[in-house]
Amino acid sequence: MEVKIPAVGESISSGVVSVWHKKSGDFVNAGDALFTLETDKVSTEIAAETSGVLDALVPDGQEVKIGEVVATIDDSKKASTEAKPEKKKEAEPSPQSSPKGGGGSETKAKEETADGETLSPAVRRIVDEENLDPAKISGTGPGGRITKADALAAVQNRKSVGDAANASPARTVSSERKQAASPTEDRQSADGRVVRKKMSPLRRKIAAQLVMAQHTAAILTTFNECDMSAVQKLRADSQDAFTKKHGVKLGFMSFFIKASVEALKVVPGVNGRIEDDDIIQNNFYDIGVAVGTDRGLVVPIVRDADKKSFADLEREIGDFAVRAREGKLKFDDLTGGTFTVSNGGVYGSLVSTPILNFPQSGILGMHKIMPRPVAIDGKVEIRPMMYLALSYDHRLIDGKEAVTFLIKVKECIEDPKKLPLEF
C-alpha cells in the first residue's frame, strides 16, 4: 500500500517530512504515527492506514508535494513480523535483572529513545532540526525519557556542528540512504564562521506574509498608554476564586481581547479589510492571538471572542499556547481572523510597531508593564504603565479612527467595569 502526502488544508501544496517516527523495515500497526509533516501553517502527524512492514522512500527533511508517495507498507508480511516484538519483549528482562544495578534499564531507555518511541513531538522537532543523536542525550524524565529541556541542553552543550554528522542510524530512512545528506542539514563554511541552513516552511511563510503586508497595505502605527493599576488589583482580588472555580488562572490577555472587541464595536472599520476594490466589513469578532514558538510566530484564532467568558478565553489561549509549542495546531486553528492582539511585553519589549497579519487591517501591540511617574490629579505618582500600539491599514482606517480605537481600549483597561465581567 502506498503512503501518500494527504491534503492538509486549502492553499497548501507542499510540506516537509520533518521526522520519521518509524524507520524502514519496522512493522507498523494501523494508526501508528509514521512521520510528521510540516507545512507553512501547521505540523501534523501522518498515521498508517494499514498494518505491515514500512519502506520509507524519502529522508528526513525532504520537501514533498501533496499526493506524492513517500513510503509503502507491505501488508503481506503481517504474520511473520508480528511475532518479532514478542521475542524482543521476552529477551529484555535479563539486563534489568543484571547484578550491575540500573545499567540494564538505562540501556533499554536509550534503545527506546534511539528508535524514537519515547520522544514527544516537541523533542522530535528539536532533534530533527538540530541533527542531534537521541541516543547521546541523557533523559531526565520518567524512565529515562528525554524532555524538551534535555534536548535544548544538548543543543547548547554541543561543541561543534560536526557532531550533527553523527546522527543516530535510527533517524536515517534506510541503509542505502545513510550516505545522503539531509536537505535540511546545516552547511558550515571552511573556517567555521558561517553556517547556512534551509528555511523551514513556516519561516518561509512568515517571511512572505510580512513582505506582502508591507508591500500591499499602507501601514501606520499610533501609540497610547494605559494605567494597569485597576486591572492588576481586580486580577489579584479575583485570582484565587477564579482559579478555584474555573481551573485556569486569570491573565491579562483576556482583558485586552475583551477591550479590543469593545473598541471594534465602536470603530468597526478596524474589524474590516480591503479586497480588490471592495471593503469587507466583518460583523463578528474572531481575534487572533500571536504565539511565539521555537519555530516562529503563529496566530491561532479565538472564534466569536465577544460571546466567550474570561474563563473561556483564558482556557482557549492556554490550550493554543501548548499546542503551538508542540506543533499540534490544526489548519482550521490558524485560518480566518478579523483582528490580532500581540503581546511583546512577555519578552520585555517596551514599545514596538507590530506588522499587520495580512489581510487584516489592524493589530494591537501590548508591551511590558513598567512603573513610571505620571501626573494624577496634579500630583506625580508611580503607576504600572503599559504602552499600546495600533498598527493599521491607512487605506481603510483614518488617524481619527485609530486614536478613537486606542482610547476605547485604554478606557476599558483603566476602568474594567466597562467590560462584560463574568468571573
Clarify whether 367 is annotated catalytic.
no
How long a stretch of residues is the chain?
A: 423
Nearest to 174 by CA among 21, 2, 5, 25: 25
| Separation CA 185–CA 200 (nearest Å) | 12
Task: Select which of 150, 333, 398, 415 is catalytic.
Answer: 398
Q: In terms of C-beta density within 10 A (0-12 exposed, 13-18 middle, 19 or more buried), how is residue 276 classed?
A: exposed
The DSSP result for 301-335, as a single string, is: EETTGGGS-HHHHHHHHHHHHHHHHTT---HHHHS
The whole-angstrom distance between residue 278's C-alpha and the CA centroid of its chain comes to 33
| Separation CA 194–CA 308 (nearest Å) | 49
Task: Select which of 55, 186, 312, 394 is catalytic.
Answer: 394
Enter the C-alpha cell of residue 46.
501522518
Q: In terms of C-beta density within 10 A (0-12 exposed, 13-18 middle, 19 or more buried), how is residue 234 classed?
A: middle
Whole-angstrom CA distances from 381 to 295, 370, 378, 384, 385 are 42, 13, 9, 10, 11
Clarify whether 115 is annotated catalytic.
no
Dihedral sign of CA atoms 171, 172, 173, 174 in order: negative
Find the helix or strand (DSSP H, E) in which 85 lies.
Answer: helix 84-91
Q: How far apart are the first and last CA of the chain?
A: 54
Residue 276 in 3-state DSSP? Answer: coil
> Residue 254 in contact with residue 412, Cβ under 8 Å?
no
Catalytic residue positions, numbered:
394, 398
